[in-house]
Amino acid sequence: MAKEIKNDTSTEEKILAAAKQVFMEKGIDGARMQDIADKAGINKALLHYYFRSKDKLFEMIFMEAARQFLPKVTSIMSSELPLYEKVEKFVNEYIDTLLQNPTLPIFILNEINRNPKDAIKKIFGNQRPPIDKVEEHIAKLVKKGEIKPVKGYELMINMVSLCIFPFLARPMVQWITKTNDEEFLQLMELRKKSVVRFVIDSIKK
């Protein structure tokens, strides 16, 4: 009866991986439990044996996704690095995360729009990201005359926009730039530098 080391590595993870794929691709409404079972290589009965309902399963997947969405970025922003380095690290980290999870943004945003309150709570906990810290930091540099006056939250929104949007509109971007899947990822890799430059050029005096 002792609860030995549960060897979860197999079925449960297969289910989660399959569910992630299907939910990300089709959204919660478009996803079919049968598809998830198939993709996991098991049957519906077992699927419900592990996760009682579709909602429960979706919840799990979303929680996992929510954690990734707000990456280590928070610590970067509240760090003591010089602003430009903050920007650079932020953008690099963010785009890296997205390169490893290209479909994360649309998945998250859909849930945010479907169920704003809960989704936001799951992403941010209950504390706002530390933009106050950024705000102060920027205010100082503005006073010193080193950068143009910008609002902290605006800078944040702009950076996030520039990082995430291309992944959201990926098919459009690929069509416009005539790139295939591989080339798109390379493009985003290059984009790191380009965005950093774009942002810094925009605020520096």
Partner DNA sequence: TTTGTGTTTAACCAAATGGTTAAACTTTGT
Partner DNA sequence: ACAAAGTTTAACCATTTGGTTAAACACAAA
Residues that bind a copy of itself (CB under 8 A): 26-27, 29-30, 106, 109-110, 112-114, 116, 119-120, 123-124, 128-129, 131, 148, 153-154, 156-158, 160-162, 164-166, 168-173, 175-177, 191, 194-195, 198-199, 201-203
Three-state secondary structure call for residue 51? coil
The answer to whether residue 48 forms part of the interface with DNA (CB under 7 A) is yes
β-bridge mates for residue 204, sequence order:
147
The answer to whether residue 39 forms part of the interface with DNA (CB under 7 A) is no
129 binds, among a copy of itself, DNA, none (CB under 5 to 8 A by kind): a copy of itself
- Give the one residue of 44, 121, 148, 193 binding DNA; rule: CB under 7 A: 44
Half-sphere exposure of 114 (CA within 13 A, CB side): 11
Residue bearing tokens 């996704």: 65
Which of 126, 187, 191 has its CA nearest to residue 159? 191
Q: What is the spatial distance between Cα 198 and Cα 148, in angstroms, rounded to a whole number?
A: 14
Instruction: State in angstroms the smallest separation of the CB of 24 from DNA.
Output: 15
β-bridge mates for residue 194, sequence order:
none
Q: What is the spatial distance between Cα 22 and Cα 6, in angstroms, rounded to a whole number?
A: 26
Cβ-contact 99, 188 below 8 angstroms = yes
The answer to whether residue 10 forms part of the interface with DNA (CB under 7 A) is yes
186 binds, among a copy of itself, DNA, none (CB under 5 to 8 A by kind): none
Contacting residues toward DNA, per CB under 7 A: 2, 4, 6, 10-11, 31-34, 41-46, 48-50, 52-55
